[in-house]
Structure 1
Amino acid sequence: MSPVFFCDRNLGKRFALELRKLGLSVELHDDHFAPNAPDEDLLRFVASRGWVVLTLDKRMRYRQEEKAAILHYGAGVILLSFPKNPQKDWLLVLASEFYQAQSKVRAFLQRTPPPFLARFRVDPSKSGRKHYRMEAIPLV
């Protein structure tokens, strides 16, 4: 079964709609929550449906309340990497890269049941090819 990805508000609608256009199952933050909804509410709701959160909020890994909510509600969260030198439409590029990495993402999801906090990265190699990485981040 294909995962359902929940795009956090910080990703915007264009990112989520691009993933949908590419064929992924995606839910948008604003379809379910007010703009200022606490992350703890979001994590409870998303985890209860078995969805996986996608976010750019790297600070989530340092906030004790959010880490506790991930553990308590059994949420799965993937932190997406923000480029060092963002170009125009970089979120659309990131959506394309995330889509291209689905075999790695799905393999990670199969071997890593929630709760988890993970990082998705794109590492370029010297040959010009991109390497997609999924790394678990300790929650304790």
Structure 2
Amino acid sequence: MQPEQGSPEPVFFIDRSLGRRQVAQALLEAGAKVLLHDDLFGQHTSDVDWLQEAGTQGWIVLTKDSAIRRNPHERQMVQDARVRMFALTQKGLTGEQMAALFAKALPGMRKRIAKTQAPFVFSILRGGEIRREL
């Protein structure tokens, strides 16, 4: 699914928790625009800092870091910075499995991006289903 007429193509910001190669490559092959955490921020940049920048820039955050969804300070930054986020909920996935899940969920993510006001957090479940968390 392509973005609606007049809607810019979303830019997906890949959190360092997802690695540098497989998720990015799968999304690029599916036609998505991607940015990698480590290409823009130091490895020890706090989540609060890069979340604020992601919200300011309008990037769509992809992560598997459950602390961002559960830590009160980070959750508040998601709300304050109007972050748009999709998070994997399944633990113990390989890079290949994470890449496949994000690629499978990409059409549904694009649909939700086009129709959902920021801030939001959606979980991507193991079967590729998408559930709203915030």
Coarse TM-score class (shorter-chain normalised): 0.7 to 0.9
The aligned residue for residue 104 of structure 1 is 108
1:87-98 matched pairs, under 5 angstroms: 90-98=94-102
Deviation at 1:75, TM superposition (A): 0.6
1:1-140 matched pairs, under 5 angstroms: 1-14=8-21, 15-83=23-91, 86=93, 90-123=94-127, 132-138=128-134
The aligned residue for residue 4 of structure 2 is none
Q: Distance in 2 between matches of 1:111 and 1:22?
A: 21
Helix, strand or coil for the counterpart of 1:23?
A: coil
Helix, strand or coil for the counterpart of 1:71?
A: helix
Q: Distance in 1 between matches of 2:69 and 2:99?
A: 22
Q: Which runs of 5+ in 2 are unaligned?
A: 1-7
Q: Give the fraction of aligned pairs with identical amino acids, expressed as a percent.
A: 29
Q: How many residues align?
A: 126
Post-superposition, which runs of at least 4 consecutive aligned residues in structure 1 deviate over 4 A?
none
Q: Which runs of 5+ in 1 are unaligned?
A: 124-131
Bigger Rg, which one: 1
- Give the alignment's TM-score, normalised by structure 2: 0.84
- Give the alignment's TM-score, normalised by structure 1: 0.81
Deviation at 1:83, TM superposition (A): 4.6
> Which one has more relative contact order, counting CA pairs under 8 Å at least 6 apart?
2
